[in-house]
Amino acid sequence: MNMKPVLLIGLLLISCNKTDSLIEKGNANLVLGDYKRARHCFAEAVDHDPNASHARLGLGKALFQEYCTTPEDGSLLMESLVQLEAARSLMSEGRVEKLLSRVWLKRTHFLLMNADTTEALKALSRSTSLDPRSGNAVNLAGVLCFYQGENEKALTLFKRVITIDSSIVSGYFNAGMVCWADSNYADAYQYWFAAARHAPEDVEILSWVARAKRRLDGGAQ
């Protein structure tokens, strides 16, 4: 009797069980916020089986969780993106996109804080392509367009933010800023008034509403 096929099947079963066990432990640690142990478990699972999509996903999450505690370490963010992109290529469509978009958005903020606008725009483009309905990513794209003097494009993006999620106050506020810059005081007032309805205690928004109202009434700014 040839024992080799039986032995091979047994080894494969042991290998699968080990990978599944490591992923299970990693997920348990991840839920508890113990990203170091989670990272160790997922990394071992990936070493054991590079095609283990859930191990890749878990490792990406653990690295992102660690980055959130040490946001000055951009290398953790890049390592997280590597794992999440790998997980996306291994998993069915739609499983990772929203999380991956959020991490790319974090990468955008990190690059902007380090004055790397060119790479920030690339990261933001990746974020919005993964989740076109991410209001925060679209809003940031509008802000960057506004600072680059692309007012018409910026206003279009801020209107899109409002359509995606009407509760995002910055969508209304930023749209009002574009209108104000274009001397369209009536629309600026309408956008800021809408923002104030969503954030009635925001002093800055209320001050801009009052400023626009004075301008419309023919008074000084």
CA dist 34 and 207 (Å) reads 44
Whole-prediction pTM value? 0.82
Taking only the tens place, the pLDDT of each residue in 121-146 is 999 999 999 999 999 999 999 999 99
List the single range of 48-57, 60-69, 92-101 with lowest mean pLDDT. 92-101
CB 189 within 8 A of CB 157: no
Residue for token pair 């990746």: 126
Rg, the chain, Cα only:
24
Region of residue 5 (phi > 0: left; psi between -120 and 50: alpha; otherwise: beta): alpha
Mean pLDDT of 68-90: 94
**pLDDT per residue as tens digits for the range 17-45:** 778 889 999 999 999 999 999 999 999 99
Q: Return all residues near 57 (Cβ < 8 A) that are at least 6 apart.
A: 83, 84, 87, 91, 95, 96
